[in-house]
A and B are shown apart, each in its own frame.
Chain A
Amino acid sequence: MNWSEDARDGAIVASPQGKIDESSAQAFGTSLESAVERAAGESARLVVDCSGIAYMSSRGLRALTLAKRKADGAGVKIMLAAPNEVVREILAISRYDKLFGVTDSVAAALAA
């Protein structure tokens, strides 16, 4: 799993690449929580650009939950943007689309 970030339009946009499963979930979670801290320090929202995620298992989804708990405590809003069809289905099956705002594009998440 690769990770990159950039700051724009009042948000930190995080871009993980690869699959998020038990082999990469810990690194994913650590990177997410660091991004939450950065967003909190800049009074920004955190947008996770999901377009580079091949799929996400329950470990990845739960890492998102842990990051959201931290974000809620720091007043940071997390949005999930541009999931591919596989990730979109996984978000629906797990009902995680009820826990997180999901947009079709990063632009839509930045504008939300």
Chain B
Amino acid sequence: MLVRFWGTRGSLAVAQTAGGIRGKIARALVAAGGRTFSDEAEATTFIDSELDFATAGTYGGATTCIEIEADGDGSYLLCDFGTGAREFGIDAFRRCAAGHARLYNVFMSHLHWDHIGGFPFFGPAFDPGATIVIHSGHPDAEQAFRRQQEEISFPVAFDWLRAKIEFVTLVPGQSYAIGGVEVQVMEQHHSHKSFGYRFTDRNGKTAVFSTDSEHKIESMEGETQVADFFRDADLVICDTMYSLADAVSMKEDWGHSSNIVAIDICHEANARRLALFHHEPVYSDDDIQRMHRESIRYEELTRREEPLEVLCAYDGLEVRL
């Protein structure tokens, strides 16, 4: 199973600024310490071996969109239609031209704009040979998709899309065979509800997608059920948008969670890897990197028998399970 992140930002898509790029270049030049490089390959080796991620790259700014490549029925498996879906769609056209099936099984955590806003720009929706099946725990999913393409909001109406588009409502607690993988659904606490998904392929590899899920301070005992949903997963993708202090104070009831809680639940679940996800749009690359390093340290301080690998999702990250 391969998990590919197309969009990892929460709430609002963001973009690098000229000032941000300038700062990265300056730091790289200082780190080079006057060295010269004979070609781009040499420079790339320096970048990969001596610069930290926040200097050498970026966590990106597209909103939630994750692809799961599994040994299934050959369809695309996608989580959410945030703005990352635009780039995914372009790449899907390339793969379809090489023979990939034009069938998309999509699993929606919920219908807030950062998770559906990429759909009007999703190229395969205009492909008359494509079939897009949108699975959701929300019975009103189709209403949300249609509404964002009403003329007051967008110039291209939903009914002009040429693909065959279907909406399927899934029930939490039930198990489904979709796209050649087993899919389980969990209801989560978020405004208008959200849903987490557990994907298991025929080789037993498991990835869990759990974003926009607030773990309420008044119902911490319920985290045992969340840990059961995450149990022994090869990869858990969690909303880690806020510090724990923010999550219990000024950002309480905003529908998100923290890195600390995600690590604790993954420890309880004996998960193998955690991907920090749904990054706060206000955070710079340095802020996200700092949060990642602190999360790694917290995992070390509270580790049980087996280490939990703590990754930090970025646009373009691929994780092979």
Q: Are A93 and B217 in contact (CB under 8 A)?
A: no
At the interface, yes or no: B49 with Cβ under 8 Å from chain A?
no
Given the known interface contacts A58-B258, A66-B217, A90-B298, the answer about A99 and B223 at a Cβ–Cβ threshold of 8 Å is no
The answer to whether B143 has its CB under 8 Å from any CB of chain A is no
Contact of A22 among B223, B294, B297 (CB under 8 A): B223
Q: How far is the CB of B268 from chain A (nearest CB, A)?
A: 6
Q: Knowing A25-B220, A66-B217 touch, does A58 contact B301 (C-beta < 8 A)?
A: no
- Interface size of A by CB at 8 A reads 21
Known interface pairs A21-B302, A59-B223; 12 further A-B residue pairs with C-beta atoms within 8 A, sorted by A's residue number: A21-B264, A22-B224, A22-B264, A58-B258, A58-B260, A89-B298, A93-B260, A94-B245, A94-B298, A95-B243, A96-B245, A98-B245
The CA of A62 and the CA of B246, in the complex, are separated in Å by: 12
Interface of B is mostly: helix
Assuming the contacts A62-B217, A98-B245, A99-B245, asked whether A93 and B268 have C-beta atoms less than 8 A apart, the reply is: no
Within 8 A of A (CB), among B286-306: 294-295, 297-298, 301-302
Contacts from B to A (Cβ < 8 Å): 217, 220-221, 223-224, 243-246, 248-249, 258, 260-261, 264, 268, 294-295, 297-298, 301-302
Q: Are A93 and B297 in contact (CB under 8 A)?
A: yes
Q: Is A89's CB under 8 angstroms from B245's CB? A: no
B261 / chain A contacts, CB cutoff of 8 Å: 58
A57 on the B face (CB < 8 A): yes
When A62-B217, A89-B301 are in contact, do A95 and B245 touch as well, CB less than 8 Å?
yes
- Do A96 and B301 form a contact, CB below 8 Å, given A22-B268, A58-B260? no
How distant is A35 from chain B, measured CB to nearest CB, in Å? 19
Chain A residues contacting B294 (CB-CB under 8 Å) are 93
Task: For the complex of A and B, list the 3 residue pairs with the smallest distance between their C-beta atoms, beginning with the closest.
Answer: A95-B245, A94-B244, A95-B243
In angstroms, how far is the closest chain A Cβ from the Cβ of B253? 14
A62 to B, closest residue via Cβ: B217
Whether the pair B297, A95 counts as a contact (CB closer than 8 A) is: no
For residue A99, which residues in chain B have a CB less than 8 angstroms away from its CB? 245, 248-249
A59 to B294, CA, bound (A): 18
Which residues of A are found within 8 Å of B297, using beta-carbon distances?
Answer: 89, 93
Q: Which residues of B contact A61 (CB under 8 A)?
A: 244, 260
Tell me, in angstroms, the Cα distance from A26 to B219 when the chains sit together.
11
Is A96 within 8 A of B244, CB to CB? yes
Least Cβ distance of A43 to chain B in Å? Answer: 26
Q: Does the CB pair A59–B302 fall under 8 Å?
A: no
Q: How far is the CA of A62 from the CA of B301 in the complex (A)?
A: 18
Closest to A85 in B: B301
Assembly CA distance A57 to B243 (angstroms): 14
Given contacts A58-B264, A61-B260, A89-B301, contact A95 B217 (CB under 8 A): no
B302 touches which one: A55, A62, A98 (CB < 8 A)? A55
Query: Cα distance A71–B268 when bound, in Å?
Result: 30
Note all chain A residues with C-beta closer than 8 A to B220: 22, 25, 59, 62
CA distance A15 to B269 in the complex (A): 30
| A108 interfacial contact with B, CB 8 Å | no
Contacts known (A58-B244, A58-B261, A96-B245); A65 close to B301, Cβ less than 8 A: no
A 52-104 contacts with B by CB, 8 A: 55, 57-59, 61-62, 65-66, 86, 89-90, 93-96, 98-99
Q: Using CB atoms, name the residue of chain B closest to A94.
A: B244
* Known A25-B220, A62-B220; contact A55-B264, beta-carbon cutoff 8 A: no
Do residues A59 and B245 form an inter-chain contact, with CB atoms below 8 A? no
Among B221, B224, B260, B294, find the residue whose CB has the most chain A CB atoms closer than 10 A: B260
Closest to B295 in A: A93
Q: Taking CB as reference atom, which chain A residue is nearest B257?
A: A58
Contact B243 A59 (CB under 8 A): no
